[in-house]
Structures are given as C-alpha cells and as structure tokens.
Structure 1
Amino acid sequence: HQYQTQIVENKKMASLGQMVAGVAHEVNTPIGLGITGSTLLRDKLAELQVNFHNKSLTASQFEQFTNDGIENLDLIYSSLNRVAELISNFKKVAVIKDDEITSTVNLQQLINDTLLSMGQELKIKNPKVLINCPPDLTVESKKGPLQQVFHQLILNSLLHGFVAGGDNEVQIDIVATNTQTQITYTDNGLGVESNIRAKIFDPFVTSKRGQGASGLGMHLVYNLVTQALAGEIVLDTEYQSGARFIITLF
C-alpha cells in the first residue's frame, strides 16, 4: 500500500514538474516579445529626445516615431494579453473548485444553455449539434463544472477538429442506468493525431502550438471530470472518423 501511495505521489510530482515547465515555456515567448517591443520603443524615444533638444526634430521623424511607437505598443499589448490568457487558463486547471453544492441537473437543458452561451464562438465553424438525450433526464451533479466540460469539449472541436465551411457535426449521446450516466461526445472533425492520443489529457499537449492553443483545454476537462465531478473520461482510440470522448458519472 505504501509503495502504491509512493507511485501516485511520484506521478503527481512529475505532472506538477511538467506543468511548471510548460507554463515557463509558454509564457517565455510573449514575455520575450514584450521586452523586445519595450526596448525598441525606449531606443526610439531616446533618439526623439536627442533630436528635440538639438532642435533638429523634423515632422517626418516625429511621424515615423508615432508609427513605430503604435506598432511596438501593439506588440507589447498583445504579448501581455497572451500572458494574462495563459495565466488565466493555468489557474483554471490548477485550482479546480469542487465546493459547488450538488443539485439536480437537467442534462439536455444544460447542453442547450451551453450552446446558447457560445453563440459567437460557434458562428465561424457553424457545427450542427445533435443531442440524443431523454428531455427529462436529470443527474445529481455540480452544474458549473459540468457546463464547463461541455464548453471545453465543444471549443476543442472548434479549434482542433473543424474547418470553416466544412460539414461540421457534434453528437452528444447520453445514457443513464441506476448506477451511472454515460456521456459520449463525438465530432466528425480531423480527429486526434496518433502521436498525442496517449497523452491527450496531459498539460500543454496540443497540435496547434503557436496558433493560439495553450494545450490546457483537455487537461482542464480531465481535472473537472475526475476531481470536481468524481467521474471518469477516456478518449475512444478506436474511433477513426473524428474525436470521441466517453465520460462516466457515478
């Protein structure tokens, strides 16, 4: 038993180490860009100051400075924004709030509410969403984390699976027994690349590195399902026509 506990603790520490290294790596690039932008701006400002004191500042030099200044400030702003976004995502993953009180949740209503809240995000790829769930099916669960799970799964399909103008489709099948509820989430997108299937739920795993994806989405889903909802989630590796995730709530 002590040996098993040690293995679990070692895995936790390895995962934490990977997470910290991942955060450092992801944050490093935008911080570097921000420093470059501010250094360039400072140099340009120093040059402008010299020309001003020498009374040699021309209108075209000043115009050039304002153009360069706006460009550099845009770079600094977008870099800081990216860092803030990464930290926000990291906090979501690192601190899973499971202190929400369990309540009776109507699953079809919850999914419809989630889709409604994602109106803007759904517009570009415009997927058809099929929900196969008895309209009166309810579970005793935590509404917030559950809604976040559906939100992240759909976002994952939009970002990684679907192309604009494609025949994009999401299907959510929900079946309940006396002891458990099984949610099967399927999309007909590009699927999960074979080299990341085994580590799909690890932090900072993404096929869209440098394209706005932090690789924390599916890790967040895993933490929400296993910690906040005390359930299980697996990727169906046999499914070849897109991505399929199977969630079991007990």
Structure 2
Amino acid sequence: MHLFGNKTVIVTGAASGIGRGVAERFSSEGANVVLCDLDEDKLERVAATLPPDRTLARRCDVADDAQVQALVQAAVQHFGGLDVIVNNAGIAPEGTVEQLSIDDWHRTLNTDLTGVFHGCRAAMPHLIKSQGCIVNTASVSGLGGDWNTAAYNAAKGGVVNLTRAIALDYGSRGVRCNAVCPSLTRTGMTEDMLKDGELVQQFMQRLPLGRVAEPADIAGVVAFLASKDARFVNGVNLPVDGGVTASNGQPPM
C-alpha cells in the first residue's frame, strides 16, 4: 500500500543528504515528488533515479521569494495540486559572532530561515485547499545551541518557533506544520567532520544509540509527520537525534 499515492510533495534541498533521502522515501510511497535545489547537476542525477512520470526537478534558490513562488506554481500546474512541502534546504557556515562575515550571516538566515518562510507562504493557499501539511527541517541546534555556529543556531531556532507559529495560525484551517530536529547526520555538509576520528569519538559520547544518523533515518520520520498517522500532531519540533537531547549535558560515567 502506498501511503502517498496521488499526493504531490515538494522537497527543497533535494539533491543530496537528508533532502535526497526524503525525496526517495516519498517517491517509494507513491508520491509525485518535486525536487528543488541549487545544484542542477546533482538534482538531475537524483531525478534520473526516480519514476519519470512522478518526478519534476527544478533549480530554485529558496532565499528568492519569486523563485519559490514559481516552484510551487510549477508543481501545481504539472501535478494538479500540492499536498506536502518539506522545507529542507540549508547551509551551515562555522563561526562565532566575531568570526562570521556579514555576508555569511545574511546568507545563512536567508537560506535556512527566510527560505522556510518563503516555502510556507507560497504553498499555503494550495495546502489549505488540499488540507495538506508542512514538515520543516530544523535541528537540535535550534533546540539548544552548538559551539561555533552562531548563524546556524539562530536560523534553526527561528525555524523551530516559525513551525509553532504556523501550527497555531493554520491548524484550524486544516494545515498541520511540524519539524524534524536531526543531530549529526551523514550528509555532504558533514563529510569533512566525519573524517575527523577524534571529533567523531566526542560525538559518540553524546549519542546514546552510538552511531551517526543516515538520511533514511530522518526521512522515515518526515514521512510519518506528513502521513495520516500523524493527523493529530501539530506544532511539534521532534528530535531525531539518537537520544542526544535526552542528556542533561554531563559526560558518561
């Protein structure tokens, strides 16, 4: 049985990592999937692995409202409607408030937070019509800060509370809004970090499940939140973190 047969889902940041895993999961569940990313080559390679009659790929910068509006319109025109948007695109430059350039600060906020706003805003009229839902990719860094990532922390904290605001404002109109909050996940963004054995060991001390998340681990939770099984789940920022947020911060004994 296909959970999302005849449903249309937009996934931003779909060319790699969590976004690719989410797109593949929805496609395997029968959905029409609209893939969005800035990296056109990778995007086309992902699209080529999915059923052509149920896949649409579009280059889109989520920081540009006009491009996001055009993306949503393309999805609706091609597939006849919209049921789910997964706002996943993001970047994570390192740096404290002294180290970050002004350009990096604005680029991170524009992509990771304003990009989510653009997606929700453009999709909302269609989601109201379909009684659909939104799933945002936040982070454990939005629930509690991480060292040396001030812009990312601020953006993901904004996504957490934007998710709650949308849930409050649109739940009565039939649109649910939730977010997943992953911890360390194996993606292109974390590739260099995962090559540092000492750093990985430090992460393992904080990860009760004892391993890094894979994109499929996050994708399964996104699919649940978008499904009818989660029909009474609204305004939740769900840690998908292997138990990281279960800790009070003290080291293992």
Scaled by the length of structure 1, the TM-score of the pair is 0.24
**Which is helix-richer, 1 or 2?**
1
Larger radius of gyration: 1
Scaled by the length of structure 2, the TM-score of the pair is 0.23
